[in-house]
Structure 1
Amino acid sequence: MAIGRVMAGVNCIAFDEFYGLFENRLKRYDDDWDFELFLQIPNITKADILEYFENNFLGTIMGDSCEFSDVRFPLFFAKSENLANSIQPNYNSENVSIIGQLFLAGYIDFGSYYDDKDRDRIDYPTNLSYWKEDKYQAWIYFRDNFFYKNAFGKNCDEDILIYEGKEYTRENCPSYINKEGNPVLCGYSTMFGETSWDTPKYWSQYNIWVARTKKGSKYLEEILEPRFYNKYKDLSVEIDDNGNIIRWIGGINR
């Protein structure tokens, strides 16, 4: 049994004080449990949930940029089927819209190329924000092909391999036997290789990266994180040894 705050600090994620219980004791290594707790906060609203998504998405872009697969975004990466089924029909388009608003405001950018010798750089002429004269049209194109066609969650079975200029699947791609006696596909992977904006069928969560701009960091650190913290700083929860909520203490500051 433990009592902890919803927000332990300004730049902490929600329910940070319960990581020891859920990961060490209950072996919950997924990113679902804290969001499951958040959804049970009394009188939580849809606006609160969308703000939670925004804070999580912008706040978990590691360093200046990272592969999209590394962003903490429970709507898309929920491992619990019950959780995914409960939130996706209700919040899918709204969450994509939040990402679009962050992009159009200049808080984030997307890229498909980086200089391996300068991994801290995020401003390339090939970034999505420069790709079209109309930034909004660039976003619509990216949204439709990356999110609505599920490129962000591509499985290895969906990988397109290129060999001698032709496209193959993993099932029909030519292969050879290596020295260890194991089959090796001849083609190179497009979902893990470099890509471009005009080849959306090759996009994946591994070759598209997202960056938080200086403007985005300023918004996160000076506005979003303090607002989120102040909203939940006086709310605590008591949880039993099995991860079940016993009672809430305090309330949301509105």
Structure 2
Amino acid sequence: MKYKALESIDTFLFNSIYKTGINKKIAVILGEQALDLKVLLTNSHITKIDILEYFEYCILQEAQSDFEIDEGFMGQYDIYPLDILSKSLFENDPQPSYASEYIGIIGECFLGNLIDFICKDEEKSLSHSFDSPFEAWKYFKEIFFYQYQNYLYDYSKKEDYSKILWSNPKDWNSWDINVIRTPKGTKYFNEILSPRFYNKYKDLSVEIDEKGNILRWIGQINR
């Protein structure tokens, strides 16, 4: 059966495979973590620049919903399951994980004022809580992303309530930090990135058999 890579503007890549449930069979073959990325990488014409643009598109699309950070960026089915990340993995990134590139694009979106992070008990967002956005990103990346497994659903910490503050990372958790899309990010996504991304993949489809095997790509990537 043939599935469109992108059905309409401002939708996720490969939505069509989830509508039919064939994603479950594909996941048996490719693995369920970061499934969309794995499917995309089976296309021999995909370049690293395409992957980085895909990361940016997904990040800004997720950020529009004011999700908890783990729901937006770090779930099992997202681009990369960050619960298994470490500083060592960032520095020795094995292909085709693209772990360091993924976090790098999150950083670029933050530094470009396209996204921001908010903390449950803070009045100011992350970008406005430090002397500069660069200082804020370095602090947040090295503490939260490099040690993300320390902040996963620790309900014992939730019961023993303490204020969740940027200055108190020992009490951070994965449900009290949210990612948001800024007005600048929304304007960029709606007027530039989303139309460009749709035009790029609107003529591309993938043929997948009933067992979940990817047989061939049909159509073209419009560059």
TM over 0.5, shorter chain: yes
Query: How does 1:90-129 map onto structure 2 within 5 Å?
Result: 91-113=98-120, 125-129=123-127
Query: How does 1:33-72 map onto structure 2 within 5 Å?
Result: 33-63=35-65, 65-72=66-73
The answer on whether the counterparts of 1:234 and 1:250 sit within 8 Å (CA) in structure 2 is: yes
Deviations 1:104-139 (A, max 9, x none): 11111111126xxxxxxxxx7421111112221111
Is 2:78 the partner of 1:76? no
Q: Partner of 2:180 in structure 1?
A: 211
SS in 1 for 2:218: strand
The answer on whether the counterparts of 1:32 and 1:78 sit within 8 Å (CA) in structure 2 is: no
Separation in 2 of the partners of 1:43 and 1:147?
A: 31
Residue identity in the other structure for 1:203: W
Match of 1:140 among 126, 138, 141: 138
Structure 1 runs (4+) deviating above 6 angstroms are none
Is 2:211 the partner of 1:242? yes
The answer on whether the counterparts of 1:75 and 1:87 sit within 8 Å (CA) in structure 2 is: no
Q: Partner of 2:148 in structure 1?
A: 150
The answer on whether the counterparts of 2:116 and 2:126 sit within 8 Å (CA) in structure 1 is: yes
Instruction: From the CA coordinates, give the structure whose radius of gyration is larger.
Output: 1
Q: Partner of 1:5 in structure 2?
A: 4
The answer on whether the counterparts of 2:22 and 2:210 sit within 8 Å (CA) in structure 1 is: no
TM-score, structure 1 as length reference? 0.72
Residues 1:77 and 1:96: Cα distance change in structure 2 (over 3 Å): closer
Separation in 1 of the partners of 2:169 and 2:142?
A: 10
Deviations 1:11-70 (A, max 9, x none): 111111121333687496x5633222111112211111111111111102253x121021
Residue identity in the other structure for 1:144: E
TM-score, structure 2 as length reference? 0.81
Separation in 1 of the partners of 2:199 and 2:26?
A: 30
SS in 1 for 2:96: helix
- Provide the aligned length of Structure 1 versus Structure 2: 208
More strand by share: 1
1:219 Cα deviation from its structure 2 partner: 0.9
State the percentage of identical aligned residues: 37
More helix by share: 2
Deviations 1:185-234 (A, max 9, x none): xx8346xx641011112222211111111111111111111111111111
Deviations 1:67-101 (A, max 9, x none): 1021153213599xxxx96433xx22222121111
Is 2:220 the partner of 1:223? no
Deviations 1:140-168 (A, max 9, x none): 111111111225x7334x6664xxxxxxx
For the aligned residues, what is the CA RMSD?
A: 2.9
Separation in 2 of the partners of 1:144 and 1:25?
A: 34
Residue identity in the other structure for 1:71: G
Unaligned runs of 5+ in 2: 85-92
The answer on whether the counterparts of 1:61 and 1:70 sit within 8 Å (CA) in structure 2 is: no
